[in-house]
Amino acid sequence: METSFALTGKGYLIMAADTTSARSIVKMKVDEDKIKTLSPHLLMAYSGEPGDTIQFAEYVERNIRLYQIRNLYALRPAAAASWIRRAVAESLRSRKPYSVNLLLGGYDTATDDPHLYWVDYLGTMAEVPFAAHGYGSYFALSLLDRYHDPDATLEEGLATLKRCIDEVSKRLVVSPGAYKIKVVDKDGVREVEL
Amino acid sequence: MSIMDYNGGSVIAMVGKDCVAIASDLRLGNEALGISSNFQRVFPITDRIYLGLPGLATDVTTLRERFRFRVNMYTIKEEREIEPETFAHLVSSTLYEHRFGPYFIEPVMAGMSKAPSGGCKPFIAATDLIGCLNFAKDFVVAGTASTKLYGVAEGLWEPGLEPEDLFETISQTLMNAVDRDAFSGWGCVVHVMWALIAT
C-alpha cells in the first residue's frame, strides 16, 4: 500500500515515497515518482485516489510556478502550504472532492530552516517535525517518536529514515518494494540513494 | 464514530472575578492515531477576545481564516474593535449560514467586554455546530472530552476566583478531564485575561 515519510533535521528535510503504482491487487508500475518539486526549495509527496493525485499535483505545481513567474520569487513553505491546504479544503465541500493526502516539505531560505506540513484529503494541516501517510505511518510514527532528532546531521537523518523503511518492509503485509528519497536544503532539491 | 470526534480535542472557558480564562489541549489525531502534539485550536481575535475551535481540524483552520477576515472587515467598517457580545453573534450567524451543511466545530469564546463604568466585565459563550448560542455565567465546555469537563468543572469551579486561582482551577479541570479521554490531551495551553481597571 502507498506509504510516504518525511522528517526535518539540522538545515535539511528528507522526504520519501514508495514508487509503486497499484490498481486493485496488481502492481502496474514500480518506478513512479510521487514527489513533485514545486519550487527550488519545496517538495510535495502525494498519495490517494489514482487520477485525483496526479490531477491535483499538477494543478498545484502549475499554480506555484505561475506565482513564481509573476512575482519573480517563490512562495515560502508556510505560504505555499496555506494555499495548497485551501485548495484541498475548498475541493472537500465541492461536488467532486479530490481525495489526496500530501506531505509538504520546504526549506525557508529567508529564515534558513526546514518546514514540514502534514495535509490530508479533508484539508487538515499541521506543521510537524516528522510525518507519514498510509499504512506505513502506523509503524513509522512510533519509530520517529523514539529516534527523530531535530539537530541530527543528514547522515543521521537518513539512518532514521532507513529504520522506518526497514520496519515497514519487515512488518507490513502489503509493503512497498522501492522508495524514492529526496532531500531539500539550502542548495535546493536533490535525490539520494540509501 | 461521529465526524466531530475524528480529530479529537477539547476546549473550556471559565469566568472569575474580573477575569476570564480559556484553555485547550494540543492533540491532532486521525481517530486513535496521534499526528501532532502542537495543534493550536485557541486563537486571539482582538486584544480582549479569544476563540477556541474544537471539532473537525480542517474546519478549525477554515473558520479561523473566515473569522479573521470578518473581524477585519468589521474593524475597518466600524473603525473600532468588535465587542465580545457582538463577536459571539458574528460566530453564531457565520455558523448558521451553513445550517444544512455545517462546519463541524463547536466554538467556545472568552473575552473582556467594556462595562458602562469604563471598566471590564468577563464574558464567555459557546455555540453548537449550527450557531445556537449559550451564554453561561460560570463555565462552558466543548470537544471530545466535554462530558468529563462538565463533571470536573462542576466540582472545582466556584464564584469569584482571582486570576491566579482561576488559572489553577481551569488547568486542573482540563488536565484531569483530558486524562480520561483518549482523543484529547498531548499537551495543554491556557490563556487568562484580567482587567487592569476593575468594575
Question: Chain A residue with minimal CA distance to B3?
Answer: A122
Looking at the structure, give the CATH architecture of the domain made up of residues B3-194. 4-Layer Sandwich (3.60)
pLDDT tens-digit map of A27-53 = 999 999 999 999 999 999 999 999 999
Which of A70, A79, A86, A149 lies closest to A108, judged by CA? A79
> Per-residue confidence at A66, pLDDT binned at 50, 70, 90?
very high
Phi, then psi, of B134 in degrees rounded to 5: -130, 105
Q: How far apart are CA B46 and CA A24, in angstroms?
A: 52
Q: C-alpha dihedral over B127, B132, B133, B139, to 10 degrees?
A: -40
* pLDDT at position B119: 84
Q: How far apart are CA A181 and CA B8, in angstroms?
A: 32
Q: What angle do CA B50, B63, B2 make, to 5 degrees?
A: 105
Cβ–Cβ gap B56/A122 under 8 Å: yes
Cβ–Cβ gap A124/B28 under 8 Å: yes
Which of B155, B170, B156, B185 lies closest to B124, judged by CA? B170
* pLDDT at position B198: 52
pLDDT over 70, % of chain A: 100
Instruction: Say whether residue A118 is in contact with chain B using an 8 A CB cutoff.
Output: yes
Instruction: Say whether residue B61 is in contact with chain A using an 8 A CB cutoff.
Output: yes
pLDDT beyond 80 at B196: no
User: Which residues, 6 or more positions from B92, have their beta carbon under 8 angstroms from its beta carbon?
Assistant: B127, B131, B132, B133
Find out whether B187 and B25 touch, Cβ atoms under 8 Å: yes
pLDDT beyond 80 at B151: yes
Distances (CA, A) of A157 to A6, A8, A189, B74, B140: 10, 8, 16, 48, 44
**CB-closest option in A85, A92, A128 to B36:** A128
Cβ–Cβ gap B39/A126 under 8 Å: yes
Cβ–Cβ gap A85/B61 under 8 Å: yes
Q: Mapping DSSP to helix (H, G, I), strand (E, B) and coil, where does residue B192 land?
A: strand
> Per-residue confidence at B197, pLDDT binned at 50, 70, 90?
low
Query: In this structure, what C-alpha cell is assigned to residue A50?
Result: 489514482
pTM for the full predicted model: 0.95
Find out whether A7 and A153 touch, Cβ atoms under 8 Å: no
Instruction: Say whether residue B123 is in contact with chain A using an 8 A CB cutoff.
Output: no
Residues of B in contact with A137 (CB under 8 A): 33
- Which sequence spans correspond to the domains of chain B? 3-194
Instruction: Say whether residue A125 is in contact with chain B using an 8 A CB cutoff.
Output: yes
User: What average pLDDT does this structure show over A154-168?
Assistant: 97
One-letter-per-residue 3-state SS of chain A: CCEEEEEEECCEEEEEEECCEEECCEEEECCCCCEEEEECCEEEEEEECCCHHHHHHHHHHHHHHHHHHHHCCCCCHHHHHHHHHHHHHHHHCCCCCCCEEEEEEEEECCCCEEEEEEECCCCCEEECCEEEEECCHHHHHHHHHHHCCCCCCHHHHHHHHHHHHHHHHHHCCCCCCCEEEEEEECCEEEEECC
Distances (CA, A) of B108 to A134, B22, B164: 33, 8, 21
Instruction: Say whether residue A85 is in contact with chain B using an 8 A CB cutoff.
Output: yes
pLDDT tens-digit map of B109-120 = 999 999 888 889
Which of A146, A81, A88 lies closest to A115, judged by CA? A81
Q: Which residue type is seen at B165? A: D
Give me the total of CB pairs closer than 8 Å, taking one residue from chain A and one from chain B: 42
Phi, then psi, of A16 in degrees rounded to 5: -135, 140
Residues A2-21 as b/e (b if ≥16 CB within 10 A, e otherwise) read bbbbbbbbeebbbbbbbbbb
Cβ–Cβ gap B58/A118 under 8 Å: no
Phi, then psi, of B2 in degrees rounded to 5: -75, 150
Which of A123, A105, A113, A143 lies closest to A7, judged by CA? A105
Positive/negative CA dihedral, A134, A138, A127, A111: negative
Q: Mapping DSSP to helix (H, G, I), strand (E, B) and coil, where does residue B171 land?
A: helix
pLDDT over 70, % of chain B: 98
Mean pLDDT score of chain B? 96
ipTM over 0.90: yes
pLDDT tens-digit map of A98-135 = 999 999 999 999 999 999 999 999 999 999 999 999 99
pLDDT beyond 70 at A97: yes
pLDDT beyond 80 at B64: yes
Distance of CA A90 to the CA centre of its chain: 21
**CB-closest option in B28, B56, B101 to A126:** B28
Q: Which single residue is written with the C-alpha cell 536544503?
A: A185
pLDDT tens-digit map of B3-57 = 999 999 999 999 999 999 999 999 999 999 999 999 999 999 999 999 999 999 9
Cβ–Cβ gap B58/A124 under 8 Å: yes
